Amino acid sequence: MQVTSTDKYCASCHSHPHVTASWKLSSHFNNSSGVIVHCVECHLPPEGLPYFTEKVKTGTKDVYSKLFKDVSKINWDEKSKLEHAVKFTFNESCINCHQNIFPLSLSKDGEKAHLYYNQNSEQLHCINCHLDVGHYDKNAIHAKNVSFGKSEEEKEFFTEPAKIESFNNFTEKIPGTDVKFEMLAIKGGSFKMGSDKNEWSRNSNEGPVHNISVGSFFMGRTEVSWNEFIAFYNQTASEGRPEEKNQTQKEITEADAITGATPPYGPPDQGWGMGNRPAITMTHHSAEVYCQWLSLKTGKKYRLPTEAEWEYACRAGTTGPNFLNVDPKHLEEGGFISRIFRKKDTTNIDSYILYTANSKGKTNDPEGMRPNPFGLINMLGNVAEFCSNWYEPTAYSQSKLENPKGPSEGTEHVIRGGSFKSEAKDLRSAARGFTRTKDWLLTDPQMPKSIWWYSDCNFVGFRVVCEFDDNTEKDIQ
């Protein structure tokens, strides 16, 4: 047992190509005390029968991977994420070494975070906050990211927003920034909202199917990008100011009066990159304040789409499970035998939808993906999207037939569409989800929790809708 528990032995058959190098760069190896934390001290329980049984399980998996898997095809970035790491790291092993989690050197913020951990120890794992202590990650920031969004690059800024003179696609330009984005004209109409009882993988909150009509609106060709969100953040960031959740109800008449997000805790892009990738990890409140700011900057009415507008735009005149009319059931991997004998062709859907089979476990730049019939990109993939509606599982049974806006109150909001994490069964136009605020803030070490950023949700973003004025409405008619 001693021979097969050494670092050298672990490294001899462990398939991860960077595991030893990242360990030697981490604080568990390279620290001022000179103490080295060894592989088995984190990845096995401290002692007793659990130590032996887990050693057999873990060792068997490593040997199998070494002998039978092509390790070059394994997505190691995805394997390093929290949801995978918690399966191979043990809280009791952390506590076995760190028996005093309130040392004299602990900061005030650290005391609050560790107190919160004590109160929620059944739900939290030490590596929720300390993921990089065993394997160094250059992108990890265990503090407020005060440099987020800052750039020294000189740019030419737009002085005027786009002008809408007819109901046609247009390119919006945000004054005072160098950011622009495309808005598509979505002409209103009627459609059947929800899913039939016979639709595969259907959930009860998707019915009953009912006829809905929506008015015309403009919708973002893609989800709001990091470039767009950072423009908002840089002009409204509220470091040092109190977080005010009621500001959307205030009588604000100028964009400069809006108080925006405080600095995020850690890298909100997960280290995947920003630019045109969809902005993620912001809260529903943050998305609403962004829309309010964008409205004041451009002189138009920007907002989140209603759930009915979102599904109408996603379906784009189609009536099948998705706008490709492909049954997601035929895209499922199935079991071991199914994977051997049933060859599935995902070439077509992979060019339209970014989901678990082709995303490599992270968000992607939307360019290169093909649009739905309305010209909208990634309506069912890349990231799921906030809607303005409060979530209610039985909302369809009491829905208005024209421009429904959902319940007048609630505790969570609707999210629609699949994401880079979605399985094939989720790639359906009628599939409904909702925010899970408490769960998505579970590992936020700040007290009180941020109203701007989710600490535990990296697969939801948002897309904006722009309303049109009376003159534009006449042009349509």
pLDDT digits over 352-383, tens only? 999 999 999 999 999 999 999 999 999 999 99
User: Among residues of the chain, what percentage have pLDDT more than 70?
Assistant: 91
Pick 466 or 237 by higher pLDDT: 466
Please state, in angstroms and rounded to a whole number, the distance separating the CA atoms of residues 168 and 183: 9
- Is the per-residue pLDDT at 429 higher than 50? yes
Residue 92 CB partners (closer than 8 Å, separation 6+): 45, 46
Residue 147's Cβ-count burial label (10 Å; 0-12, 13-18, 19+) is exposed
- Is the per-residue pLDDT at 475 higher than 50? no
Size of the chain in residues: 477
**Is 272 in contact with 281 (CB distance < 8 Å)?**
no
Query: What average pLDDT does the structure give for the chain?
Result: 87
- List residues bridging with 297 in a β-sheet: none
pLDDT of residue 336: 45
**Is 410 in contact with 392 (CB distance < 8 Å)?**
yes
Mean of pLDDT values over 237-263: 66
Pick 164 or 252 by higher pLDDT: 164
Mean of pLDDT values over 107-120: 86
Distance of CA 85 to the CA centre of its chain: 18
CA distances from 87 to 2, 44, 49, 124, 422 (A): 23, 11, 18, 13, 20
| DSSP code at position 328 | G
**Is 294 in contact with 231 (CB distance < 8 Å)?**
no
pLDDT of residue 470: 54
Q: Model confidence over 12-23: pLDDT tens digits? A: 877 677 888 888
Amino acid residing at 470? D
pLDDT of residue 358: 92
Strand ranges, E, within 215-279: 217-220
CATH code given to domain 170-476: 3.90.1580.10
**Is 308 in contact with 294 (CB distance < 8 Å)?**
no
Place of tokens 């009627």: 190
pLDDT of residue 256: 73
pLDDT of residue 310: 98
pLDDT of residue 461: 98
pLDDT of residue 245: 58
Mean of pLDDT values over 391-404: 87
Please state, in angstroms and rounded to a whole number, the distance separating the CA atoms of residues 164 and 468: 8
pLDDT of residue 211: 94
**Is 127 in contact with 85 (CB distance < 8 Å)?**
yes
Taken in order 105, 107, 113, 115, the sign of the CA dihedral is positive
pLDDT of residue 476: 47
pLDDT of residue 244: 55
pLDDT of residue 247: 53
Q: Model confidence over 297-344: pLDDT tens digits? A: 999 999 999 999 999 999 999 999 999 988 888 776 554 444 444 456
Q: Model confidence over 154-182: pLDDT tens digits? A: 778 999 999 998 999 999 999 999 999 99
pLDDT of residue 333: 57
Residue 259 structure tokens:
């108080």
* Segment among 153-157, 413-417, 421-425 with least mean pLDDT: 153-157
End-to-end alpha carbon distance in the chain: 80
Mean of pLDDT values over 188-207: 93
Mean of pLDDT values over 83-107: 89
Please state, in angstroms and rounded to a whole number, the distance separating the CA atoms of residues 377 and 371: 4
**Is 381 in contact with 353 (CB distance < 8 Å)?**
yes
CA distances from 79 to 13, 331, 393, 419 (A): 17, 23, 34, 18
Please state, in angstroms and rounded to a whole number, the distance separating the CA atoms of residues 64 and 13: 9
Q: Report domain extents, the chain.
A: 3-128, 170-476
Pick 22 or 431 by higher pLDDT: 431
* Residue 345: pLDDT band with limits 50, 70, 90: low
pLDDT of residue 144: 80
Question: What is the value of pTM for the model shown?
Answer: 0.87
* Residue 284: pLDDT band with limits 50, 70, 90: very high
pLDDT of residue 214: 95
- Stated as kind and residue range, the H or E segment containing 236 is helix 226-236
pLDDT of residue 19: 84
b/e code 84-117 from CB counts within 10 Å (16+ = b): ebeeebbbebbeeeeeebeeeeeeeebeebbebb
Taking phi over 0 as left and psi of -120 to 50 as alpha, with beta for the rest, 426 belongs to alpha
The tally of CA atoms less than 13 A away on the side-chain side of residue 21 is: 5
User: Among residues of the chain, what percentage have pLDDT more than 90?
Assistant: 53
Beta strand 189-193 with 210-214 is antiparallel
Torsion angles phi and psi, residue 193, rounded to 5: -95, 140
pLDDT of residue 274: 95
Counting other chains too, the contacts that 314-319 makes at CB distance below 8 Å and 24 or more residues apart are: 314/372, 314/376, 314/379, 314/380, 314/416, 314/417, 314/429, 315/191, 315/429, 316/372, 316/373, 316/374, 316/376, 317/191, 317/373, 317/374, 318/373, 318/429, 319/192
CA distances from 405 to 21, 137, 308 (A): 53, 44, 8
**Is 366 in contact with 351 (CB distance < 8 Å)?**
no
Residue 276 structure tokens:
């045109």
Please state, in angstroms and rounded to a whole number, the distance separating the CA atoms of residues 79 and 83: 8
Q: Which among 350, 351, 353, 332 is positioned nearest to 342, based on CA atoms?
A: 332
Amino acid residing at 86? V
The tally of CA atoms less than 13 A away on the side-chain side of residue 121 is: 10
